Structure 1
Amino acid sequence: MTDNQARFSPALVETIAGLSAGTVSTLAVHPLDVIKTRLQIQRNSSPSHVRAFGILKSLVANDRPIQSLYRGLTPNLIGNAGSWAIFFYFKSIVEAQLLAFHNRPTSDFSLQEGASQALKGLTPFDYFLASGISGAIITVSTNPIWVLKTRMLSSDKGTAGAYESMGHGASQLWKTEGWRGFYRGVGVSLLGNSHGAVQFAVYEPAKNIWRKYLAKEHQLSGKTPAGDHRQEKLGNTATLVISGSAKIMAGTVTYPYQVIRSRLQTYHADERFGKGILGVATKVWRDEGWKGFYKGLGTNIVRVLPATWVTFLVYENSEAFDQPKKISTLNNVGATKPSAVYSQL
């Protein structure tokens, strides 16, 4: 273990990995986010109703196509990069506490002096709970950024009423709607935390199942001695398959909340789409049917898969440098200070 590895805690490593992953993925797929947002606020009755390719053509045909494609990048970058960093930090802490709770000393410990207790790992529900708690924290702390992002992505710079920048948008929002304006859609966003919770409830167990399989194969082939499966590197291909599958599953199930959130957070939302979660949902169902809740889903899948792949490839590889410390820490102190990501036994 190097001096640099010794200086970083597992939670800090996961925070840095999450920040790096969020930044790279946001830069890579931001134009698709612009298209998806504009699709979500399109109504079937709108005379300007267009499809994803039509929106892309209009953005590229602009006098400044790059600026159009990356409209609202600042809040999106701050929000996504910050969210991933905060999410992984608190997820690491919550998972560590859950693992410590599962392996707390019990009365059975006194059966024999020196008897050791089998260490327990985290369950899918534990991952679901840790992700849900972490998601709730970042939802409340970053909602103002998402309101500004939605409004900037849904409009072209220079059009009437459009925010010129993040700072201009924050000033205008405060003047016209007060502090409540910064928390438009926070309720449905909290409900949407089920997305991240479902995603990690699928991702983490699947990752550990694959690691156990690799460890068994390597032991049978004689390549490595019997040992902790957490030392097995996930591999880029496995990361792509597992993270992509988890994202598609979670995204499809929870997508309607994104449509409702975008409509709640855009300009003049109450007049255009209805008031509150129930008002928007009722109007979507009445005017557009169930398909209205899935507007932009195809674009979103195309957008989230590269974003997810980049995020988890960067995250897994950024985190890997600290793996020796994590394995050593767990071996030395048992379940009291586990690694969040490598804690499944």
Structure 2
Amino acid sequence: MADHEPLQEIDYESLPGGSLSSNLMAGAFAGIMEHTVMYPVDAIKTRMQIVNPSPSAMYSGITNAVSRISSTEGIRSLWRGIASVAMGAGPAHAVYFATYEMVKHELGGNVGTSDDHHPIAVATAGACATIASDALMNPFDVVKQRMQMHGSTYRSITDCFASVYRNEGLTAFYVSYPTTLAMTIPFTALQFTAYESLSKVLNPSKKYDPLTHCVAGGLAGAFAAAMTTPLDVIKTLLQTRGTARDQRIRECRGLMGAAKIIRENEGWGGFFKGLRPRIITTMPSTAICWTSYEMAKYYLLRNDEA
């Protein structure tokens, strides 16, 4: 046991982000864990954000949604489409964290002592990371939301991909990409900055500490999710427009058009539909994501050092 004690003292945060392979592996592990654990709540959030749903798909809250979905479709329907997010989350988050660590290092975010703070470098690195990862993840997210909807008839993610491409073309997978970036860039910048700031307060020594990584990640995610919910509602409208009953929604082409439709149909409150399940989903998801990432990063770096 004594032979391994020096390894516990590695200040892994002071290293230049670790190797590219370590960040890719840690990021992929974190992404899959983040998106799969809270998937059923995310499915409820998607359904609650649909504009002008059919009467059978209107829910007054999370409990009501679970009860109605369980009794009419079966509880397993809340996991429809999980294969899509699992397939996309691994590679997308690998790119996400690898880009984050690389840009943060290049901008001097790893320079100095544990007391130094680099919010600009962290926010910029987070923004670059989300641009790269969302380009890869967006089609998988479209498929996920199409399969999460009430009355979805797709037999598999392959069937969904093929059907959307055949009926709406390739643009259907990226019509929400500008809106996704408009949401995820501030979300990521807020989340990463809040996480780094909270980590410095809760864990000033910057040693590996799962509890502080979990708490900081959860709080940072909840804050960022609440601030960006209106854009998430717009994104949902754009990604599910092909199945809408309203012709205006089916022909909607971008962020401003979607925002106008939501405002006219739902009022200002429509931009905050699904706020509670979004926070409930995001808070543990980001806690899991950061804890998983820091754990994988720590052990990979420890093995490299050994």
Instruction: Report the Cα offset of residue 323 of structure 1.
Output: 4.3
Partner residue in 2 for 1:170: 161
Amino acid at match of 2:21: L
Partner residue in 2 for 1:191: 182
Give matches, 1:16-55, under 5 Å: 16-43=25-52, 47-48=55-56, 49-51=58-60, 52-55=62-65
After the TM superposition, which of the residue ranges 68-77 and 307-316 deviates more from structure 2? 307-316
SS in structure 1 of the partner of residue 38 of structure 2: helix
CA distance in 2, matches of 1:144, 1:322: 30
SS in structure 2 of the partner of residue 50 of structure 1: coil
Change (3 A) 1:133 1:165: same
Q: Is the 8 A contact 2:219 2:283 kept in 1?
A: no
Partner residue in 2 for 1:206: 198
SS in structure 2 of the partner of residue 191 of structure 1: helix
TM-score, normalised to structure 2, is 0.83
Give matches, 1:32-111, under 5 Å: 32-43=41-52, 47-48=55-56, 49-51=58-60, 52-62=62-72, 64-66=74-76, 68-99=77-108
Instruction: Report the Cα offset of residue 320 of structure 1.
Output: 1.4
CA distance in 1, matches of 2:28, 2:65: 30
Cα deviation digits, residues 175-210 of structure 1 (max 9, x gap):
112111121211101101210111001111331343
SS in structure 2 of the partner of residue 255 of structure 1: helix
Change (3 A) 1:64 1:209: closer
Query: Which residue of 233, 242, 246 corresponds with 1:259?
Result: 233
Structure 2 gaps of 5+ residues are 1-5
Partner residue in 2 for 1:341: none
Partner residue in 2 for 1:271: 247
Instruction: Report the Cα offset of residue 236 of structure 1.
Output: 2.9
SS in structure 2 of the partner of residue 61 of structure 1: helix
Partner residue in 1 for 2:3: none
Are 2:220 and 1:246 aligned? Answer: yes
CA distance in 2, matches of 1:9, 1:94: 13
CA distance in 1, matches of 2:31, 2:85: 10
After the TM superposition, which of the residue ranges 280-289 and 270-279 deviates more from structure 2? 270-279
CA distance in 2, matches of 1:134, 1:118: 24
Partner residue in 1 for 2:135: 140
Q: Identity rate of aligned residues, in percent? A: 26
More helix by share: 2
Instruction: Report the Cα offset of residue 46 of structure 1.
Output: 5.3
CA distance in 2, matches of 1:36, 1:180: 24
CA distance in 2, matches of 1:75, 1:178: 19
In our comparison, the structure showing a higher alpha carbon Rg is: 1
Instruction: Report the Cα offset of residue 147 of structure 1.
Output: 1.2
Query: Which residue of 242, 245, 263 corresponds with 1:285?
Result: 263
Instruction: Report the Cα offset of residue 120 of structure 1.
Output: 11
Alpha-carbon RMSD? 3.0
Partner residue in 1 for 2:123: 128
Amino acid at match of 1:271: Q
Query: Which residue of 180, 205, 213 corresponds with 2:171?
Result: 180
Amino acid at match of 1:308: T
Cα deviation digits, residues 10-36 of structure 1 (max 9, x gap):
332222122112222322111111111
SS in structure 1 of the partner of residue 175 of structure 2: coil
Give matches, 1:303-342, under 5 Å: 303-324=281-302
Change (3 A) 1:280 1:16: same
Moved over 4 A (4+): 117-122, 323-326
Aligned length: 286
